[in-house]
Amino acid sequence: MAENKRTRGACAYCGREFARAGMTRHLASCPEREKVVEAANGQPGETGPLIHLQVQDAWGGDYWLHLEMAGSATLKQLDKYLRAIWLECCGHLSQFSVGGWRGEEIGMTRKAAQVFRLGVELTHIYDFGTESVTLVRAMDTRTGRPTTRHPIALMARNLAPGYECQECGGPATRLCLECAYEDERPGTLCGEHARGHPHEDYGEPMPLVNSPRVGLCGYEGPAEPPY
């Protein structure tokens, strides 16, 4: 597909936009996030470790998430979250490993607090045929109460990358896989040029969604947070 400028993302607490690295620094001191954390810690109940995870696609890094995960939650729950927001198309197999693609596999029943230490990076692979590879790194930890009733909270996410239509240069919303794979063209099309576009072998142009799996194995989203 066409090249993009480095993506920026929005903080889920205050809405301010930053690049991926800048978002890590922002979340450590975001006043709106501090209010949410303070309110959660003021509630009754047990406290525990919570881990700030930076998640990014392994190839370009244009797609990324900042998550806070309860230390008591399992890698299976993180796998389920990644499938829902980024990856799920056909129920493919997946795994976590440490040390890259051929590194040591980490069991899905392991709890986050058992696996993640500051700087530890896991590789997540979804679909061993047309693979999507995601890097998950522990950026920070805190002890307190979760800010939601769910095991994972979305703190920030990249804004959808902008692509240009290969025909007119306008904003693209669809992807022609035949152009991208067979004709060595970007394949990105606006709505007008997607209509009637020749695509004999790969079917209709598919929607461009905010996921690193776009264009792989017929993935069409929804690419939305599961909660």
pLDDT digits (tens, 9 = 90+) for 74-130: 999 999 999 999 999 999 999 999 988 788 999 999 999 999 999 999 999 999 999
Q: Which residue, 94, 134, 135, 131, is CA-closest to 217?
A: 131
In tens, the pLDDT along 37-82 reads 999 999 998 899 999 999 999 998 999 999 999 999 999 999 999 9
Per-residue burial over 157-196, b if 16 or more Cβ lie within 10 Å, else e, is: bbeebebbbbbeeeebbbbbbbbbeeeeebbbbbeebbee
- Predicted pLDDT of residue 3: 45
If you average pLDDT over residues 188-211, what whole number do you get?
89
Average pLDDT, the chain: 93
Q: How far is C-alpha 55 from the chain's CA centre?
A: 6
- Predicted pLDDT of residue 198: 81
Instruction: At 75, list the tokens.
Output: 């890698």
Backbone angles phi, psi at 108, to 5 degrees: -65, -20
Strand (E) or helix (H) holding 51: strand 48-57
Give yes or no for residue 1 having a pLDDT over 80.
Answer: no
Sheet strand arrangement including 174-175: 188-189, 174-175, 206-207
Percent of the chain predicted with pLDDT > 70 = 97
> Are residues 57 and 63 in contact, defined by beta-carbon separation less than 8 angstroms?
yes
Give yes or no for residue 2 having a pLDDT over 80.
Answer: no
- Predicted pLDDT of residue 5: 56
Domains and CATH numbers, the chain: 8-158 (3.10.290.30), 174-207 (no CATH)
Q: How far apart are CA 93 and CA 60, in angstroms?
A: 23
